[in-house]
Amino acid sequence: MAFNGQYILPAIKSMKDFEKILKSEIEYIVMLEVHIAQLESIMKYAGQHHKKVILHADLIQGLKNDEYSTEYLCQKVKPAGLISTRGSVVKTAKKNKILAIQRLFLLDTLAIETSYRLAEKVHPDYIEVLPGCVPHLIEKVHLETKIPVIAGGLITKKEEITSVLNAGAKAITTSRSELWSVNVG
């Protein structure tokens, strides 16, 4: 079962939200827009509260988004996973046995086809599809790639969560704190 049965992965944008999540029963969290100087303390506090952190590698301020920084993240920071649009980051995460999530933007047919080719090369553990509020495309991405899908972006209510989960998404990422505790199981 993906993420130990957790269907909603809170996407944290502020330290205030991080502190709120530490007090919750939620196990997996996604950290967005983190400054490199915050990584050590975030991982320390997350560990003390039994949280598994997935870092969005493309949004870490002060860290170049390449294979070397990915090696650093995997070996020194040791998150549960990394999210990136870059194939080299996803591939390096997989090599280091870190959960590797490829972010795919549903911009147009060319962008989707390019993402399919990338997924075929790097074999991510998951593909995060943005925006995630399009159930028929969630299903299509999964059928085309045979890789589990996470839906993210523009999901605003419980009905949309249910709809994308029914379309085959294994989980959703959301920065909307009012959705973090929605019961969908």
Tally of domains in the chain: 1
Residue 66, domain CATH:
3.20.20.70
Determine the Cα–Cα distance for residues 122 and 115; give it in Å rounded to an integer: 10
pLDDT per position as a tens digit, 100-133 = 999 999 999 999 999 999 999 999 999 999 999 9
Does residue 166 lie within any of the structural domains?
Answer: yes
pLDDT per position as a tens digit, 111-120 = 999 999 999 9
Does a cis peptide bond (omega within 30 degrees of 0) precede residue 135? no
Does residue 184 lie within any of the structural domains?
Answer: no
Considering the entire predicted model, what is its pTM? 0.96
Does residue 174 lie within any of the structural domains?
Answer: yes
Does residue 27 lie within any of the structural domains?
Answer: yes
Does residue 185 lie within any of the structural domains?
Answer: no
**Can you give the residue range of the structural domain that contains 70?**
2-179
